[in-house]
Structure 1
């Protein structure tokens, strides 16, 4: 058995054990696509032909096989992918689950909405949707189906916190979060009106503290009506591009800023999908439904390579692929390098593990990077205020 066939066999076993499909041939095609993506590093249908054994004598025949998969409306992305993620999260019942909501634009024509799980310095795709528009700003109605599905899927997780950037702070989302009993950390635009101790509402931008200071507001009212009450943390950090204004339903502390900063892990997910690991924008698909199924291949590869990297870490084999004394690259990169070694150096293909709820070794590229990380945020003054409704 060749190494690519061995990799395919492990992927297919995982898919057949957990995923639900109406035709087993769909899983076979998907297993070969994920295997070819891990070998080639290109999310391009034409680049997978050398890595897939087939009786076809023409490359066009192999590519048409993938095209039929992308255009098959009988293939349910949720039924295939979500069970894999839930199995990977089986040890997280007593762990707070941070969900990052964000968007990315492809070719200035399609907007992909991502709902991801923050895990060990990275974000793992959970649910996604593609809408045909050139703007990264989406209405609540566009991502509400993702939130409702996530609420049902994560109903056994008692502690869930949603993190989102300025484009998602609106009345409808706030009301939905309150009804769902999810915690949240949302950044506000500078022009949002809030009700504090003053008689009239003020724009958030006029309340930013001086450089190196933070202000903690309890029980502020949002927008012109002031009906939605929450807590607010304002901070101006040395070296940051903009001041932060983060609203939360929990007590306002400096921990709120740390929690919101976890949202930036999804930016690294976008980088891995587009250029860091796979070349999403090199695909020539121009249909929202086909892009959703294409990203299914990418999401499974991201999840599989990440768990493979965690297996390498737990087995004490990290230094075979990571030149740093301590961990200096992500678990995704560790997993991808290990799989390349499986292909070309005869390394052993490790058994998949679940996603680690706690990172055994946080990643830093150097001692200086570690020192800068822990010393980058200092406040000379912290003020706490309580607002009366």
Structure 2
């Protein structure tokens, strides 16, 4: 497979990455093909025997691998699940949370110590708490759910690195977290009131188990919070690289949402969107065999038709042209709220802490994993 592609003259926008044994997609047109072609899948085959019934018993907990498989497979109701959830995260619904996001971000920014690390002291707690509040989790559960989110984030990063063998201690911790998450899910379905929980109640009627809802909450915590932390760090580094920009944002002369959008277009939290060839096809202009890994280079696709703006003063393209949050059927469900959360966090920093200073050279964002990771974001 790799030998054949390595020896083939590839069309423009394709490159064979011999070091990682995968096909790289660099153009928007070919990225669209990959995201739409039915022969290229997310990596979990929903038609696989037993997948639709791979649910833990009500009094049992899923294995780590099984939990992550639940993210992609919601028994036979995957399509109605997606349809129902998209109603919860529309632009109109996201706009209804803006005042709450702004208030929570301002409170966090005002309470910051004189110096520290923004990722740890500001972005992580703000994105955690604002997401918990948005989905309707009682405030008393926020500390415990923070622990759940951190463990799920850690294990998901391990999955991205190919780690699937876990020790007894890690498995026991995961089982305890899963029992708590399932209990919280059942309590939310019985008592809580939010658009997300209302949709979750309708979704829970489609399946005999509420584990898919618990897995959905876990996915929302991972796929939403950690990329927002990275996005906030990327935006901060770029904003404070321009001596004039914090003041322009504070005065409202440039829009925080537009600036954050452009920062994440130039340097997206996810390096690649991965897909896997499930059946032989030639949709990209070359024969592709089953098992071929296809990696859409998010940054390359984002910048293919309009290069980076310098200094960063706003996004020059429409959000639909940006792959940072996915595209089409693979578009991030929480993109609308995530954009508003990152913008609120950035706006609160420049407004509540006008004397804030960030040394862009001291910011450390690790790119060894597909999901970038903030190692250091010092401020004073």
Shorter chain as denominator, the TM-score bin is under 0.3
TM-score by length of 2: 0.28
The answer to which structure, 1 or 2, has the higher relative contact order (CA under 8 A, 6+ apart) is 2
Hey, which of these two has a bigger chunk of strand by percent? 1
TM-score by length of 1: 0.27
Q: Which structure has the larger Rg over C-alpha atoms?
A: 1
